[in-house]
Amino acid sequence: MSNHIHRVVIAGGGLGGLTAAYLLRSVGMKVTVLEQANELGEVGAGIQTAPNASRILINAGLRPQLEAIKTQPTSQVRRRWSDGKILASRPLGDTLWQEFGAPYWHFHRADLHQMLVDVCSDPALPGPVVDLHTNSKVATADQSNPALPVAITEDGRRYEGDVLIGADGVHSRVRAAMGMSEEEDLLFSGQMVFRAMVPGEKLKADPATRFLWDSFHSTMWYGPGRHLVHYFIRGGEYLNVAAALSSDVNLDKGWTEETTAEEFIRAFGDWDSRIASILEKAEGPILKWALFAHRCNPVWVQGHVGLLGDAAHAMVPFQAQGASQAIEDAAVLAEELAVVDKDQISAALLRYGAKRAKRAGMVQEASAQNAHLYQLPDGPEQELRDEKLARFEGESDVSYEWLWNGKHEPMSPAYVFSKGDRPALARLQDE
């Protein structure tokens, strides 16, 4: 085997782990994914990819697959809690393509996840097919041979690689195996969230909510101690609604509960009555859970072991960037590993961490700042914020330009393993 083809074991088959698996396979790596769940899948909710993430997926050859499952919002609209007054509106859609060379898209999480499973598994695509294992909860990592880290599952199976990546989410076991303590690192944000899905047909049929169907906006409502986001997915089949509230309840780190539309509506009972009109149409499980976030952590790498996605930088979702940052992680990881010999893996991983930790840390901080700004009580500070929101400046101190332009160039075609013309990396693999 060429000295450039690495065996990469990834703990966690979420959006971060699978994006990494696909991009690593595309540069010729032999990838094994260990997922704790019985079945690969994602929760029934929406997810937005901003241009910084959409660009990476498109450049990785996935545009046709993404086009088949995406919903493209026309504008981002900001509303006041009490009367729905529009504070600001910014075109997304084709305007954003022109400005940033990539789209703002919405997906059903399950669709995006399934697409990634498919492209990891498709033998017709470049690179070795990814070896996906379910029912494989990683308990810890054995680094007694630093060059060949081993992921050990709870039932004692051992998976050795040249590289081990922890993409196992906010309660990462790989992170713990690297010596980081969840006790000290993972903090309650003071926020909890509600999430619901509302069928588009019901919204279309009711004159009180028809305005949503007619516009396909991505919308955020701002109110004292609470904010609420909604957008369509699957071309309007569902409106995804997520809302955050400040909470001083002392919640444990795994706390989540199924709740009712009534409770969700009660929490927003003094808001514009259209919120209740939307929520009363919700179908399927309505969940609430506590939001925890990691302290910013510059140490993502230990020898041949690295962290990616929420395992590295769990953040509150107030920039809608957690998965998008995981996608950026995956792109940089694949770029760095693609070009190095086995004896340079540690250095490549250190470069990966160095390129990514500051930016992801800034997004973590920006997301936390937004909790305060989004939920200001009515008064002078809120009025100032609303003026800034109207200029699309009122949020945290990272600009959309910085965020959406991303940080790195698309993967060079020279590195991409291609079955057709055998370019640079493939030639190296033949040596």
Spatial contact of 77 and 218, defined as CB atoms under 8 Å apart: yes
Residues from 297 through 316 that contact ligand FAD (CB under 6 A)? 309-310
Check binding of 161 to ligand FAD (CB under 6 A).
no
Check binding of 138 to ligand FAD (CB under 6 A).
yes
Residue closer to ligand FAD by CB (options 16, 103) is 16
Binding track over 315-334 against ligand FAD, x by CB under 6 A: --x--xxxxx-x--------
Residue closer to ligand FAD by CB (options 13, 394) is 13
Nearest to 5 by CA among 127, 147, 117, 122: 127
What distance in Å separates the CA atoms of residue 288 and residue 284, rounded to the nearest whole number? Answer: 13
SS3 403: helix
Residue closer to ligand FAD by CB (options 47, 197) is 47
Residues from 108 through 137 that contact ligand FAD (CB under 6 A)? 137
Out of 10, 11, 366, 403, name the contact with ligand FAD by CB under 6 A.
Answer: 11
Residue closer to ligand FAD by CB (options 50, 373) is 50
Based on C-alpha coordinates, what's the Rg of the chain?
Answer: 22
Residue closer to ligand FAD by CB (options 5, 278) is 278
SS3 228: strand
Smallest separation (angstroms) from ligand FAD to the CB of 355: 17
Check binding of 349 to ligand FAD (CB under 6 A).
no
Check binding of 340 to ligand FAD (CB under 6 A).
no
What distance in Å separates the CA atoms of residue 160 and residue 166, rounded to the nearest whole number? Answer: 14
User: Residue 74: what are its φ and ψ, rounded to 5°?
Assistant: -80, -40
Residues from 37 through 76 that contact ligand FAD (CB under 6 A)? 37, 47-48
What distance in Å separates the CA atoms of residue 181 and residue 250, rounded to the nearest whole number? Answer: 20
Active-site option among 159, 231, 238, 352: 231
Residue closer to ligand FAD by CB (options 193, 278) is 193
- All residues at 6 or more sequence positions from 123 whose CB lies less than 8 Å from its CB, including other chains: 129
What distance in Å separates the CA atoms of residue 339 and residue 214, rounded to the nearest whole number? Answer: 49
Smallest separation (angstroms) from ligand FAD to the CB of 117: 11
Handedness of CA 299, 303, 309, 310 (dihedral sign): negative
What distance in Å separates the CA atoms of residue 274 and residue 283, rounded to the nearest whole number? Answer: 17
Nearest to 212 by CA among 223, 200, 222, 224: 200
Walk across the sheet containing 7-11 and list its strands: 131-133, 30-34, 7-11, 163-166, 305-307, 301-302
What distance in Å separates the CA atoms of residue 110 and residue 428, rounded to the nearest whole number? Answer: 37
Residues from 164 through 193 that contact ligand FAD (CB under 6 A)? 167-169, 173, 193
What distance in Å separates the CA atoms of residue 151 and residue 163, rounded to the nearest whole number? Answer: 10
Q: Name the one range near ligand FAD by CB under 6 A: 29-37, 249-257, 294-302, 355-363.
A: 29-37
What distance in Å separates the CA atoms of residue 415 and residue 337, rounded to the nearest whole number? Answer: 10
Check binding of 286 to ligand FAD (CB under 6 A).
no
Binding track over 198-237 against ligand FAD, x by CB under 6 A: ----------------------------------------
Which residue has 């059903």 as its token pair? 108
DSSP state string for 407-426 = SSPPPPGGGS--TTT--HHH
Task: Give the binding-site size for ligand FAD (rule: CB under 6 A).
Answer: 31
Check binding of 361 to ligand FAD (CB under 6 A).
no
Out of 12, 127, 149, 200, name the contact with ligand FAD by CB under 6 A.
Answer: 12
159 belongs to the catalytic site: no
Out of 4, 5, 16, 127, name the contact with ligand FAD by CB under 6 A.
Answer: 16
Residue closer to ligand FAD by CB (options 160, 206) is 160
Residues that bind ligand FAD (CB under 6 A): 11-17, 34-37, 47-48, 137-138, 167-169, 173, 193, 195, 242, 309-310, 317, 320-324, 326
Active site (catalytic) residues: 231
